[in-house]
């Protein structure tokens, strides 16, 4: 077994959350061989969710802007985890026969490989080189966006997904004008289904953000720096900052010709194994079979990245005892003063509102049915509800059971409100 | 062994509740409640999963 073999070398490509967790899990499992961690960005592994949330916020009373959250110091990585960290270096190729990763002219030999190269944002062609137009994926992106917000930028967000919505929300919190332009008639359909997508999107208008759905972008214009976004119907929206949040593409270009199967990411089995000896994948780049929901998926969320990184490393080190990685997917998003949480899958036969009312309040709970099974749950400011449904989905709970539970929870919540004197 | 929550870091995302519901619950206000502290050997794995699963690294185990 590789764990006990000090001559075995583990290479992890991708130095964000999944890559870091792979390294940590290998050491925790007792792996004594060499570990090389390769990261394209210059930064030590850092936490991405805050980049579109708290990190964009205003300075505190002493004038200090929010600091980035680095997961580990350089010393911890090098000395405690004994990792050879190579930052600012992009992997450019993979030779699965010779077992080497190419970093430009340099090659790095591996015995075991965990690929966690993540995903990169889709961009809008034609806006290259215009100051003030950014995607939001990296720390550098977020710093650039924040600098414009600090200047009081009129903000236009392209794409009403979660990242873009969080940026718009932050701009509004700073008292700035914010407009969201969405190509589809309803936002967030892929993530939460049509009805709930519309319900959540209504939060924008309630909070003073203009939301234009079914609107295509004709051009992003300016002289050196961005000045306006022109829509397909000729509408002009003035802008000092344009954030492009139209989704991401798995970062697999460097794997062309490697022999790995690529189809919306790296195709893996339920153990996160690519089918090529010693090669595993984790995080946003991995398309794997999720046994908990019984479907092939590629996740783009924190929890999956963290857990898959660790699971891929453990399975790489001990393939004979490999364990399938199963999960009930979870993501959250913070807009205005609302926390949106989703567990499970939005691909459902029915979506039922079981508590609250999107039209009236800032709190509601919706359940998702597939066949006779509970397959998903969405809460808006329902922090005390959401994880109870995650547990039910994990256990494969039936729809009837979920509805019965929802009834009890609704009654309990109503009672609590009554006791507190809220009607 | 004891479970420790750093409430400065916790934002009530609740993953811990789904992994170890006997220890953690997020309340109506979105704040985390630590339901019990002491961890038995049988419970260690689930609490370790909760620690690893916390997006704000707010949880730890005091041994």
What is the domain partition of chain A in residue ranges?
A: 2-120+249-321, 123-246, 337-419
* Domain A337-419, CATH: 3.30.390.30
The answer, for B53 touching chain A at a CB cutoff of 8 Å, is yes
Alpha helix locations (H) across A61-128? 74-75
The answer, for B46 touching chain A at a CB cutoff of 8 Å, is no
Measured between CA atoms, the residue of chain A closest to residue B53 is A303
Residue A410 φ/ψ, nearest 5 degrees:
-65, -45
| pLDDT of A420 strictly over 90 | no
Query: Looking at A84-93, A158-167, A412-421, which range is the least confident one?
Result: A412-421
| Site from A384, A385, A391, A419 to mutate, B interface, most B CB atoms within 10 angstroms | A384
Q: pLDDT, tens digit, for every residue of A295-325?
A: 999 999 999 999 999 999 999 999 999 999 9
Is A47 in Cβ contact with B26 (below 8 Å)?
A: no
| pLDDT of A3 strictly over 80 | no
Cα of A46 to nearest chain B Cα, Å: 12
Pairing of the two strands B2-5 and A373-380: unpaired
Cα of B23 to nearest chain A Cα, Å: 13
A374 - beta bridge partners?
A369
Question: H or E segment at A366?
Answer: strand A364-370
| Chain B contacts in chain A segment 298-337 (CB below 8 A) | 302-303, 306-307, 310, 328, 330, 332
| pLDDT of A422 strictly over 80 | no
Is A384 in Cβ contact with B25 (below 8 Å)?
A: yes
| pLDDT of A2 strictly over 70 | no
What is the per-residue DSSP string for A344-398?
E-S--SEEEEEEE-TTT-S-EEEEEEETTEEEEEEEES-HHHHHHHHHHHHTT-B
Residue A269: the pLDDT is 98
Contacts A–B by Cβ distance under 8 A: 50
Is A387 in Cβ contact with B52 (below 8 Å)?
A: no
| pLDDT of A423 strictly over 70 | no
Cα of A313 to nearest chain B Cα, Å: 15
Q: Which of A21, A71, A303 sits opposite B15 (nearest CB)?
A: A303
Cα of A12 to nearest chain B Cα, Å: 19
Q: pLDDT, tens digit, for every residue of A170-201?
A: 999 999 999 999 999 999 999 999 889 999 99
Cβ distance A89 to A103 under 8 Å?
yes
Q: Which chain B residues have a beta carbon less than 8 Å from that of A383? A: 12, 14, 26-30
The answer, for A384 touching chain B at a CB cutoff of 8 Å, is yes
Domains A2-120+249-321 and A123-246 alike in fold: yes
The answer, for B43 touching chain A at a CB cutoff of 8 Å, is no
Q: Which of B26, B29, B55 sits opposite A387 (nearest CB)?
A: B26
Cβ distance A331 to A304 under 8 Å?
no
Cβ distance A149 to A155 under 8 Å?
yes
Across residues A328-350, what is the average pLDDT? Answer: 95
Residue B52 φ/ψ, nearest 5 degrees:
-65, -30
**Band of the pLDDT at A362, cuts 50, 70, 90?**
confident
Rounded-to-integer distance, Cα A169 and Cα A3, Å? 47
Q: Which chain A residues have a beta carbon less than 8 Å from that of B55? A: 47, 49, 302-303, 306
Contacts of B15 (CB under 8 A, 6+ apart): A303, A330, A387, B50, B53, B54, B55
Radius of gyration for chain B, computed over Cα atoms and rounded to the nearest angstrom: 10
Cβ distance A57 to A66 under 8 Å?
yes
Is A310 in Cβ contact with B30 (below 8 Å)?
A: no
Residues of chain B with pLDDT under 50: none
Residue A149 falls in which region: left (phi positive, over 0), alpha (psi -120 to 50) or beta: alpha
Measured between CA atoms, the residue of chain A closest to residue B9 is A69
> Is domain A2-120+249-321 given the CATH code 3.50.50.60 in the classification?
yes
> Is domain B2-62 given the CATH code 3.30.70.20 in the classification?
yes
Cβ distance A4 to A30 under 8 Å?
yes
Going from the C-alpha of A314 to that of each of A8, A58, A96, B53, the distances in angstroms are: 14, 41, 20, 16
Domain A123-246: CATH class, spelled out: alpha beta
Is A310 in Cβ contact with B14 (below 8 Å)?
A: no
Is B17 in Cβ contact with A388 (below 8 Å)?
A: yes
The answer, for B48 touching chain A at a CB cutoff of 8 Å, is no
Across residues A356-382, what is the average pLDDT? Answer: 94
Q: Which chain B residues have a beta carbon less than 8 Å from that of A47? A: 55
3-state secondary structure (DSSP) of residue A411: helix
Residue A56 φ/ψ, nearest 5 degrees:
-85, 0
Residue A1: the pLDDT is 57
Q: Which of B29, B52, B57 sits opposite A310 (nearest CB)?
A: B52
- CA max distance for chain A: 71
Cβ distance B46 to B19 under 8 Å?
yes
Residue spans per domain, chain B: 2-62
> Torsion over CA of B51, A25, A334 and A332, rounded to 10 degrees?
-90
Q: pLDDT, tens digit, for every residue of A110-168?
A: 999 999 999 999 999 988 889 999 999 999 999 999 999 999 999 999 999 999 999 99
**Band of the pLDDT at A360, cuts 50, 70, 90?**
confident
Average pLDDT, chain A: 96
């Amino acid at each position: 077994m590789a764990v006990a073999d000090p001559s075995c070398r583990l290479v992890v490509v991708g130095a964000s959350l999944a890559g870091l967790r792979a390294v940590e899990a290998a050491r925790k499992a007792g792996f004594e061989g060499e570990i090389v961690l390769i990261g394209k960005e210059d930064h030590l592994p850092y936490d991405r969710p805050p980049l579109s949330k708290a990190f964009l916020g205003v300075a505190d009373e002493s004038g200090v802007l929010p600091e980035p959250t680095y997961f580990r110091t350089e010393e911890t990585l090098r000395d405690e985890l004994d990792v050879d960290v190579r930052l600012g270096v992009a992997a450019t190729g993979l030779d699965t026969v010779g077992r080497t990763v190419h970093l430009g002219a340099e090659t790095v030999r591996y015995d075991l490989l965990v690929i966690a190269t993540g995903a990169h944002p889709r961009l809008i062609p034609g806006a290259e080189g215009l100051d003030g137009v950014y995607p939001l994926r990296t720390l550098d992106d977020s710093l650039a966006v924040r600098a414009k917000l600090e200047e009081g930028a009129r903000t236009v967000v392209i794409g009403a997904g979660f990242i873009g919505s969080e940026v718009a929300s932050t701009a509004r919190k700073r008292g700035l004008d914010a407009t969201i332009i969405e190509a589809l008639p309803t936002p967030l359909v892929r993530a939460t289904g049509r009805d709930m997508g519309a319900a959540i999107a209504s939060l924008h208008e309630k909070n003073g953000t203009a939301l234009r759905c079914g609107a295509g972008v004709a051009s992003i214009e300016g002289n050196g720096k961005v000045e306006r976004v022109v829509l397909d119907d000729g509408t002009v929206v003035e802008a000092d900052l344009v954030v492009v949040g139209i989704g991401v593409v798995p970062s697999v270009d460097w794997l062309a010709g490697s022999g790995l199967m690529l189809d919306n990411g790296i195709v893996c089995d339920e153990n996160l194994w690519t089918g090529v000896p010693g090669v595993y994948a984790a995080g946003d780049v991995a398309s794997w079979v999720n046994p908990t929901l019984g479907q092939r998926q590629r996740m783009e969320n924190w929890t999956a990245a963290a857990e898959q990184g660790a699971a891929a490393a453990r399975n790489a080190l001990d393939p004979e005892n490999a364990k399938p990685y199963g999960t009930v997917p979870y993501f959250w998003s913070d807009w205005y003063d609302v926390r949106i949480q989703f567990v499970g899958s939005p691909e459902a036969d029915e979506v039922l509102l079981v508590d609250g009312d999107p039209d009236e309040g800032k709190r509601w709970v919706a359940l998702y049915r597939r066949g006779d099974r509970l397959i998903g749950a969405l809460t808006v400011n329902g922090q005390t509800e959401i994880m109870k449904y995650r547990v039910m989905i994990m256990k494969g709970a039936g729809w009837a059971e979920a509805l019965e539970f929802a009834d009890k929870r609704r009654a309990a919540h109503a009672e609590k409100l009554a006791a507190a004197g809220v009607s | 062994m004891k479970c420790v929550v750093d409430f400065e870091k916790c934002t009530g995302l609740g993953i811990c509740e789904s992994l170890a519901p006997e220890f953690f619950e997020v309340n109506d206000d979105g704040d985390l409640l630590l339901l019990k502290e002491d961890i038995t050997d049988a419970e260690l794995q689930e609490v370790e999963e909760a620690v690893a699963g916390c997006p704000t690294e707010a949880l730890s185990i005091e041994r």
